Each structure stands twice: as C-alpha cells, then as structure tokens.
C-alpha cells in the first residue's frame, strides 16, 4: 500500500479529531457532573435558595463546558478546514 504525503496528512487529521474530541470530553463531563452534584447537595441543605443555586450551577457548568467546546472546534477544524 503506497501512502502519499497528502493522504498521510488527512489520516493524521482524522485520528487527531477523534483524539481531540474523545479526550477533551472527559474533563468537562466530570467537572459539570461534580458541579451539579454539589448543587443538589446545597439545594438539599437549603431548598429555599434553589433558584440561586441552580443559576450558579448553570453558570459554573457553562464555564466548565468551554474546554469541551474548544475540543469540538478543534475537531471540526481538523475535519473540515485543515
């Protein structure tokens, strides 16, 4: 099987996209789950503050999500642009 340079670059981009999204998804998944778990704990302690706690949870998760979105962007760049 003769492998040319351009083919090798494409192949590397595809596997790189898989690696980027795969490993990149681990951190946000765990981090957001941790935030939500702690939010549930806090609501359990103080149910009357549920609104504030849910809002804070969502803001915190949005920040934690950012690295997942970076991974997605890089994966899509590798797939369609590079």
Residues that bind another protein (CB under 8 A): 1-4, 7-8, 10-12, 14-19, 21-41, 43-45, 47, 50, 53-54, 57-58, 61-62, 65, 68-69, 71-72, 75-76, 79-80
Task: Quote the longest CA-to-CA distance of the chain.
Answer: 68
- In the complex, the smallest distance separating the C-beta of residue 44 from another protein, rounded to whole angstroms, is 3
The answer to whether 67 and 24 have CB atoms below 8 angstroms apart is yes
Rounded least distance, CB 59 to another protein, Å: 11
CB of 19 to another protein, least distance (A): 6
Spatial neighbors of 15 by CB under 8 A, at least 6 apart, are: none
3-state helix vs strand vs coil in the chain, percent to 5:
90, 0, 10
């Amino acid at each position: 099987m003769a492998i040319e340079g351009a083919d090798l670059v494409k192949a590397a981009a595809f596997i790189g996209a898989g690696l980027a999204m795969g490993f990149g998804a681990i951190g946000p998944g765990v981090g957001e789950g941790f935030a939500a778990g702690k939010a549930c704990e806090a609501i359990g302690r103080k149910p009357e503050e549920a609104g504030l706690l849910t809002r804070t949870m969502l803001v915190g998760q949005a920040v934690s999500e950012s690295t997942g979105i970076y991974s997605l962007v890089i994966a899509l760049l590798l797939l369609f642009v590079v």
